[in-house]
Structures are given as structure tokens and as C-alpha cells.
Amino acid sequence: MIPTEILKKVRRIQILTSAMVQDLFAGQYHSAFKGLGMEFEEVREYQPGDDVRTIDWNVTARTGNPFVKRFREERELTVMLLVDVSASQEFGTNQQLKSELVAELGATLAFSAIQNNDKVALILFSDRIERVVPAGKGTRHVLRVVRELLYNKPSGRGTDIEQALQYMNRVLTRRSVVFLISDFQAPDFSRALQVVRHRHDLIPVYVRDRRETELPPVRYVELYDPESGEQLLVDTTSRAFRERFRRGSGEREAALLSSFRRLGIDMVDVTTGESFAAPLQRFFRKRGRRR
């Protein structure tokens, strides 16, 4: 039996994200991702403006009138949500934890997928594989995905993206759309990233909180790393310390973005306490134009 408070929160997420899918992403999701190929649908009589390369010469010769072949996109895709649930996701300083932002974003992507008759799968990972939900369709399936995003209690605290990518590569037997949702606070995973990039349509979603890159001058603050358990007392009124902190986080971020660009990977960038609708729309529009 699922507790009432869990059902209420899942329902709230469903209402919030379903409205966003209908109002903001109608049509954009479909145009952003290619289907698996084209399949023959019918032959019809030629009309002015039709591409002459689609003329069916056999039917044309038999009937004495020009006919063209029509094809339709073989649409059904599998959308994999590969989601980081390490301890660093339980951080947030702007009205929202990163894990809460991830749940809403994941639900929006899942509802967008099923609205287009695509399948949705989920892998939750930390420094190990935490939970796997096989690909499925329908509202009930997506609500199960949302429940896992909201209430799964991970066993691990660290982040191993390389292991997660390798595991996913083994279980996904056909080309899929993969949203890798993480704050990317992890050891180097570029080799696994390159392998997955060639087999699947990989989209990293960078989840961040502004206090991870810039500290306010509020005197003494105890910094705590939720993944390693390390603690450090710092004086944030020190301009030199704040600058080192900002520069260090900036360098890590620049290295991450550089690795994505080098592999030709599009990235979505979202921040706690801010709407993810605009970044997601920009991504969909960019993909649609490219197609």
C-alpha cells in the first residue's frame, strides 16, 4: 500500500508537469528526436509539388498515370532517464533541492515521451546501480517512474557515472534517447561517455545550485561534502578564499563543458529554484532546427 502523502505528491507532480508538457512542449519534443527509420505507408497519385524522386515507376507504368510512394517515420523510441541520486543531490539553497528539481524535470520528460507514444525507462545510480525500471508506456508506468524519482532511498552516497553508463550500455539493446541527469560531481567518465555517444542519442542535463559556484560573505561557514563526509570551516569574508572557490568551480565546469563540446554533445543546463522550461524549450528548438 502506497502512503497517502506519497500519492498526493506524485499527483501534484503529474498535474504540474502534464500542464507544462501540453502548454510548452507540444510538438517540440516530437520534432527534436528522430525515429528509428522510415517505413512504406501507401502509394497515391502524383500531385504538383511532390518530389519526383518518390515516383513509383512500376505503378506509374501499369496505370499510365504518375504515382508516388509515401513513407512515415517509424516513431517509437525508448527514452532512458539515467539519474544521479547520490548524496550531493540533497543540496539546495534556493527554495528547492537538486533532487526535487530532478524529479520534476524527469517527470516532464517522461510525460512528453508517452504523449508521443514512446517508451520510458529509468536507471537510478549513485556509486552503484540503485534501481532499474524497464521501458514501458502509459500514464501508470510514468507514475511509477515519478514515485521512484521522488522516494527511492539510495544505498550509496558517492557518484560513479562511468559505471552507470557502462551498465546502461549493456542493458539497452537498441538505439535510445538517453537523458543523463546529474550534477557531474564524479571522477573522469569521458571514455564511457564516448562509447555511449556512438550508440545512443545522449543528452546530459547539468543540475546545479548557485551556491556551488559562488559563496556570499557571511563570515564563518562549515562546508560539508555529503558524499565523502568531509567538513571544513571557512571564513567567507575572505575575498581571496571566495575567489579561489569561484575559480576552482569554474575550472571544473569549463572542463566538463569542453568534454561535451569535443564529442559534439548537446547539453541542457538547469538550476535549483528556477524554471527548467526555458532551457528545455531552447534544447528542443535547437534539435528541431537541426533535423
Q: For 98-113, write each residue's pLDDT tens digit.
A: 999 999 999 999 988 8
Amino acid 28: pLDDT? 74
Category of 160 on φ-ψ map: left (φ > 0), alpha (ψ -120 to 50) or beta:
beta
> Same domain for 264 and 120?
yes
* Rounded alpha-carbon distances, angstroms, from residue 84 to 96, 106, 130, 191, 199: 17, 11, 10, 18, 21
Q: Based on the structure, what is the number of domains in the chain?
A: 2
The closest alpha carbon to 78, from 50, 114, 107, belongs to 114
- Split at pLDDT 50, 70, 90, the class of 158 is very high
Give 55's DSSP letter. Answer: B
Q: What's the pTM?
A: 0.80
Cβ–Cβ under 8 Å, residues 206 and 215 = no
The verdict on 93 and 220 lying in the same domain is yes
Do 107 and 222 have their domain in common?
yes
* Whether residue 41 is found in the same domain as residue 127: no
Per-residue pLDDT tens over the stretch 68-122: 888 665 557 899 999 999 999 999 888 899 999 999 999 999 988 888 889 999 9
Residue 285: pLDDT over 50:
yes
Residues 181, 127 within the same domain: yes
Query: How far, in Å, CA of 69 to CA of 106, rounded?
Result: 39
Residue range(s) defining the domain that contains residue 254: 4-30+76-290
Is the same domain home to 132 and 246?
A: yes
State whether 49 and 105 are in the same domain.
no
Backbone conformation region of residue 264, classed left if phi is above 0, alpha if psi is from -120 to 50, else beta: left
